[in-house]
Structure 1
Amino acid sequence: MAWVSWSRMCKSKLEGGMGFRDLYAFNLAMLAKQGWRMLENPASLMACMYEARYFPNGDILNASIGSNLYYAWRSIHKSIEIIQPGTRWRVGNGKTIHIWDDRWLPTPSTYKVISPRKDFGDFPMLLALIDQDTRRWRKDILDKIFFAFEVGNILSIPIPHYPQEDQLIWVKNKK
């Protein structure tokens, strides 16, 4: 009986079905929505439970699949491939944003730094580029490690007057 209802879901509405064209894509979209909820509300019970088990030292976007998996986690983890390309970071305090690996620049082509990597510590975070007293970019450091056009892009990014958390935002695709 269950196979009948599944086959009906993909039939057009005119034929008595629900009109889904691709159940796999629909399911992946719903799972991505759950992943996005975990990003938006990291204090939720669901996010805390998965964080404790699968990504205690990071965030969902950088989580590995792990072992001894819940089926739900395996499914949500698969949806990260959908979420990652559509997001970038909004600069707050700079503690969460990795200079070289994360998408944080206002350049729609990649949102990433393209300057060659400079030795800036083991895991260089954006915090190192922000003067904590004046809440301004440290232009002297920017000039040493980035291309000139990237320095201009970075200087155009506003830094909040009062430190706040970095925020992952959804980027609208322009077509």
Structure 2
Amino acid sequence: MAWVGWKRMCTSKLEDGIGFRNLQAFNLAMLAKQGWQLLTNKGSLVAHIYKAKYYPNGDVFGAKLGNNPSYAWRSIHSSLEVIRRGTRWNVGNGKLIHIWEDKWLPTPTTCRVCSPPQAFDDFPMVSSLIDEDTRRWKTDLV
């Protein structure tokens, strides 16, 4: 099948087209998929290269666009907000999860703590709510 342009891509399948309704949304979804691969497949060569160049001291969510970014990185970086909106943390030990800023609760509307922030450390993590010995929630704090 030869490439005949975007009109064929947006044409209905009934009219022998590919049937995409919104190419921008489809493109954003494909870019977000690449961003997800950087998050979940950290051992890949591409993930190592992007980490070394664009986020050497953090993760892909904390990455800046940088100076003179490649077209591919600029495109993936623009899709990270899609991933951010659709993901939440799996708690585990809670050492990387900020109590009030990150999405980590199973509540379907916000996945965040709704109560006003309490006095903890400067940057309180969910791990401060978990007893390290028993691996249970500190009920007096929660």
Global fold match (TM > 0.5): yes
Structure 2 counterparts to residues 49-88 of structure 1, below 5 A: 49-88=49-88
Question: Which stretch has the larger CA shift, 6-15 or 69-78?
Answer: 6-15
* Superposed displacement of residue 71, structure 1: 0.8
The aligned amino acid for 1:124 is P
Report the 3-state secondary structure (helix = DSSP H, G, I; strand = E; otherwise coil) of the residue aligned with 1:94: coil
* Superposed displacement of residue 93, structure 1: 1.3
Q: Partner of 2:100 in structure 1? A: 100
In 1, Cα distance between the equivalents of 2:77 and 2:59?
12
RMSD of aligned C-alpha atoms? 2.0
In 1, Cα distance between the equivalents of 2:122 and 2:104?
19
* Superposed displacement of residue 43, structure 1: 2.0
Change (3 A) 1:123 1:48: farther
Q: Partner of 1:47 in structure 2? A: 47
Report the 3-state secondary structure (helix = DSSP H, G, I; strand = E; otherwise coil) of the residue aligned with 1:89: coil
Q: What residue ranges of structure 2 are gaps of 5+ in the alignment?
A: none
Provide Cα deviations, 1:124-166, integer angstroms capped at 9, x if missing partner: 22122211111111223x1xxxxxxxx3xxxxxxxxxxxxxxx
Moved over 6 A (4+): none
* Superposed displacement of residue 7, structure 1: 2.3
TM-score w.r.t. length of structure 2? 0.87
Asked if 1:6 corresponds to 2:6, the answer is yes
Alignment length, in residue pairs?
141
Q: Partner of 1:17 in structure 2? A: 17
Asked if 1:137 corresponds to 2:137, the answer is yes
Q: Partner of 2:36 in structure 1? A: 36
Identity, in percent, stands at 65
Q: What residue ranges of structure 1 are gaps of 5+ in the alignment?
A: 143-150, 152-175
Question: Which stretch has the larger CA shift, 69-78 or 9-18?
Answer: 9-18
Q: Which has the higher contact order (CA 8 A, sep 6+)?
A: 1
TM-score w.r.t. length of structure 1? 0.72
In 1, Cα distance between the equivalents of 2:11 and 2:48?
39
Question: Which stretch has the larger CA shift, 129-138 or 50-59?
Answer: 50-59
